[in-house]
Amino acid sequence: QVQLVESGGGLVQAGDSLRLSCQASGRTISSYGMGWFRQAPGKEREFVAAVSWMDERTLYADSVKGRITISRDNAKNTVYLQMRNLKPEDTAVYHCAAQHSGYGTGSINYDYWGQGTQVTVSS
């Protein structure tokens, strides 16, 4: 079992930056692909970014490319999501997820999920 706890969300203004963290426990994440997803009120959960376990390749949703960077620190068992130039449409609950020996954009493939952290961007 892998437990995931997100932190770093908050209320910011458009154009601001935030760094989200996802602290894992229970197992080392070194063999897990890690992803971030978000869900806005009344909308389905959507993929944001992912980083592979093997060579730290990254994937990004088109809507966040150039503004968001995912990274991982296996020694700290932590994954980060650095967000810049935030927009009101980035407002959502951001969830961290772990997929054993894989990574990608499909939420169905992820094995473990955190409870999420709220990001609210005011215009």
User: What does the alpha-carbon distance between residue 74 and residue 79 come to, in Å, rounded to a whole number?
Assistant: 8
Identify the pLDDT of residue 26: 96
User: What does the alpha-carbon distance between residue 14 and residue 28 come to, in Å, rounded to a whole number?
Assistant: 35
- Is 21 a residue whose pLDDT tops 90? yes
Q: Are 79 and 34 in contact (CB under 8 A)?
A: yes
What are the pLDDT digits (tens) for 44-62?
Answer: 999 999 999 988 899 999 9
What six digits make up the tokens of 3?
A: 């437990």
What are the pLDDT digits (tens) for 64-118?
Answer: 999 999 999 999 999 999 999 999 999 999 999 999 988 999 999 999 999 999 9
What six digits make up the tokens of 121?
A: 């961007």
Identify the pLDDT of residue 84: 98
User: What does the alpha-carbon distance between residue 57 and residue 81 come to, in Å, rounded to a whole number?
Assistant: 14
